[in-house]
Structure 1
Amino acid sequence: MANLTSISRNVAKKVLAVETPEGAGALVRRSIGSMTLRNLSPFLMLDHFHVSKGAGFPDHPHRGQATVTYMLEGTSRHEDSAGHKGTIETGGVQWMCAGKGIIHAEMPVHLNGAPDPRGLQLWIDLPKQFKMVEPSYQELGPEQIPTAYPEGPEGPVKIRVISGKSHGVESPVRPLGGCWYFHAIFDKKATIFQDIPVGWTSFIYIWKGSVTIGDSTMPIEAFNTIVLSADDTQTGVKVAAVEDNTEFVLVSGEPLDQTVVQYGPFVMTTREEIQKTLLDYQFGRNGFEKAHSWQSEIGKQ
């Protein structure tokens, strides 16, 4: 229950994510990273993806960011140049810190009768001191993500704590740079207050149902990304589901006081660093040693 000092953030901006083709045969709703919402430090991109049969994201490099893949339906396989591979199941998360460089492939699994893979991919800028760390992964299967019950286990709402803390429940995921990531699931109409660190950049992305934020009575529907205000007096956000079966993610991150220079999947802080990255990739060094020799098995299929 919200205490007397709980002051809610409000809607600062609302962006509808429209479905567009991306990669080989995938459909993506992009909000953060689109022309309408270019800069939202530390967040670089948010894609709500739907991958149909024969489509996917074959071998591609990354440097300088973390990519967080959260599966909403279906399953997806991944494999990388560091010898790491596995499957992300429905409700599972892969938190990949690309660091100084990695090449990986993400390919959907299509089984007869199973739903098409759908999920969210969030790119988070790494603080500049972590740009060149060794790549690392934190992966949680669906049963490993802890769940908070703001109104008790029998209540109308549960919050899957992918990272950070919610209602006394903490995730084991430890991002480089502050980031809290929650998946809220409302069976029935209800209201929650979620604490958020003061001053952190925060957004909500809805894919089922509709919500109101703070004291507003204006419902916001599915496929909207809501950027929240970040006043120093605001301790969190009040969200009310105005329909049964409402689902959204609430993500909050510590803004970075650094420039973003992005060239496709490479994210650094200066143009010189990008040029160096392109040379590293071209010559297969500093994290890209296997750039031209390695091929994923899943990408060939």
Structure 2
Amino acid sequence: MSLSDEVIAFNQPRLVSKKVLAKSHNDDEGVVIRKCVGRPDLKDVDPFVLLDHFELSPPAGFSDHPHRGFESVTYIFEGGLEIEDFVGSKGTIRSGDIQWMTAGRGIIHSEMPAGEGTHKGLQLWINLSSKHKMIEPKSQEVLNNGIPKAEKDGVKVQVIAGEALGVHSPVYTRTPTMILDFSLKPGAQLHQSIPESWNSFAYIIDGEGMFGSRNSSPAMVHHVLVFGSGDGLSVWNMSSKPLRFLLCGGQPLNEPVAMHVPFVMNTLSEIDQAIDDYRQSKNGFEKRSTWRSE
């Protein structure tokens, strides 16, 4: 493909504006986390406030804990998680499955390994606008066979949210969002449209590739790439191995972010209120004193 072909693909191709390496660290015994977004040098990519690449082995896991003010997407690569929350959702998500959870005004849930071995996946946090932060919580599981997929010219995609290669996800996103799991065979190229007003980034799960420009330096596995403005992203796999990456794009909220894990609000006073509500079992956390996961 020539440079002129690259220009034809988009009026303004998105280029890499920032690149950071997600290094692994042991969060707890049996838990390994690569902090991709939500770190000191990449606090957020509005509307996304966190992306973790996790690995966990029993008995480690994420036992009962609260959230407020955002939505989370948990995407399993290997193994599975037993998930349960106090709004009545309970089940198991396994390789290729996702759980989309709206924390809203408050939810308490658990995420524990489904059996022995190592369990791997990604968890993405999508901020909610101030007018939606105190909505009622809910959860939905989407199994692998319910995630739209497409393949063309050496490119495969799983459309968790949004649209790619002519297929569209049925998942409703309160904050307009695309979440796309792309795989490119050696020699393949991709040209994915992204609304100009949206922010976007990619996380490289496996392999390496050229992002934004065919003449760019290869971006390697476990790097996060934040893209500048434009109407689409071009990617080339010039290596001898497959390239896999998660592409996320979303309409920015352009609101202040106050984040104190496990809460994401607009102000520190709202964070203090969330902490107090949780401790006092009120304003969305009424079930705290009576509910325990199984």
Q: TM-score of the superposition, structure 2-length normalised?
A: 0.93
Match of 1:250 in 2: 247
**How far, CA to CA, are the matches of 2:246 and 2:9 in structure 1?**
24
Matched, 1:228 2:230: no
Alignment of 1:1-301 (within 5 A): 4=8, 6=10, 7-23=12-28, 25-111=30-116, 116-149=118-151, 151=152, 155-215=153-213, 216-230=215-229, 234-243=230-239, 244-297=241-294
Could you give the per-residue CA deviations for residues 200-259 of structure 1, whole angstroms, max 9, x where no partner exists? 1101100210010122331011000000112xxx21100112333211100001111211
State the number of aligned residues.
287
Amino acid at match of 2:143: G
C-alpha contact (below 8 Å) 1:127/1:176 kept by paired residues:
no
Q: Could you say what secondary structure the match of 1:38 adopts?
A: coil
Displacement of 1:271: 2.2
Displacement of 1:25: 2.7
**How far, CA to CA, are the matches of 2:271 and 2:133 in structure 1?**
12
**How far, CA to CA, are the matches of 2:147 and 2:243 in structure 1?**
20
Could you give the per-residue CA deviations for residues 118-154 of structure 1, whole angstroms, max 9, x where no partner exists? 10001111011110111122321011100122x2xxx
Displacement of 1:23: 4.5
Could you give the per-residue CA deviations for residues 17-40 of structure 1, whole angstroms, max 9, x where no partner exists? 000112553100002111111132
C-alpha contact (below 8 Å) 1:157/1:188 kept by paired residues:
no
Q: Which stretches in structure 1 are left out of the alignment for 5+ residues? A: none
Evaluate the alpha carbon distance shift between residue 24 and residue 96 of structure 1 in structure 2; reply closer, same or farther with a 3 A threshold. farther
**How far, CA to CA, are the matches of 1:107 and 1:62 in structure 2?**
16
Amino acid at match of 2:114: V
Q: Could you say what secondary structure the match of 1:277 adopts?
A: helix
C-alpha contact (below 8 Å) 2:68/2:106 kept by paired residues:
yes
C-alpha contact (below 8 Å) 2:161/2:179 kept by paired residues:
yes
Q: Could you say what secondary structure the match of 2:275 adopts?
A: helix
Q: Could you say what secondary structure the match of 1:148 adopts?
A: strand
Moved more, 238-247 or 125-134: 238-247
Amino acid at match of 1:4: I
**How far, CA to CA, are the matches of 2:190 and 2:75 in structure 1?**
22
**How far, CA to CA, are the matches of 1:162 and 1:236 in structure 2?**
18
**How far, CA to CA, are the matches of 1:141 and 1:41 in structure 2?**
27
Sequence identity (%):
40
C-alpha contact (below 8 Å) 2:7/2:13 kept by paired residues:
no
Q: Which stretches in structure 2 are left out of the alignment for 5+ residues? A: none
**How far, CA to CA, are the matches of 1:3 and 1:13 in structure 2?**
22
**How far, CA to CA, are the matches of 2:52 and 2:134 in structure 1?**
25
Q: Could you say what secondary structure the match of 1:220 adopts?
A: coil
